[in-house]
Every structure is written in structure tokens, then in C-alpha cells.
Amino acid sequence: MSEHAIEFLKDWIGKKCKAPSQPVRLEKQAEVLAKECAEKAAEVGIPLEDIQEEVGDIQELIVSRLEDAVDAEAAQDNSADFDALPPRAASAGGR
């Protein structure tokens, strides 16, 4: 895969693969995003085949990145909840 295709994919995924603000099926969202990615890549002259040669199924990659984003957001939310506890409750393990 060309450097141009790699940079495009990294940039695009970084911008688009965020945790959804509403509950959705990640597979369905990934399908929509994969189509959008293919369209944007074509607009800048990058064949989808070049991307798939490197990463395989783009939709599977996007699902993975969305899952990572959801997990990271959940971990951040849990950390924020723990940080909001009064000092004594936090040191007692929330008991």
C-alpha cells in the first residue's frame, strides 16, 4: 500500500472512528463508515483495493476501532465516576 493510502487511512479512521453518542449496532455503523471511507479514498485517487491489500476487510477494521473507542470511553467514564467519590470512599474501594 502506498504511503499516501496509509496516511489517508490513519487520518480518516482517527477522525471517524469515535464512540457513538447513542447506542447503535457497531456493525451497521461500520458498514456505513466503510462505504464513506471507500468513497473518500476514491475522491483522492486511492483505490479501495490498495487499502484492503494492507488491512483486509475495511469494515472489520472499522468495527474493531469503534469497539476500541467504546471501551476507552467506558474506561474513562468509570475513572471519572471513581474520581468523583469523596476521598474516604475512594480509598475504601467505594464502600
Give average pLDDT by consecutive 10-residue segment, the chain, 95 residues: 82 86 80 94 92 90 91 78 56 51
Give the pLDDT of residue 85: 56
Give burial (CB, 10 Å; 0-12/13-18/19+) of 75.
exposed
Which set of grid coordinates corresponds to residue 71? 471501551
Q: Answer whether 43's CB lies under 8 Å from 89's CB.
A: no
Give the pLDDT of residue 81: 58
Give the pLDDT of residue 87: 59
**Gap between the Cα atoms of 81 and 89, Å rounded:** 12
What secondary structure, in 3-state letters, does 40-91 show? HHHHCCCCHHHHHHHHCCHHHHHHHHHHHHHHHHHHHHHHHHHHCCCHHHHH
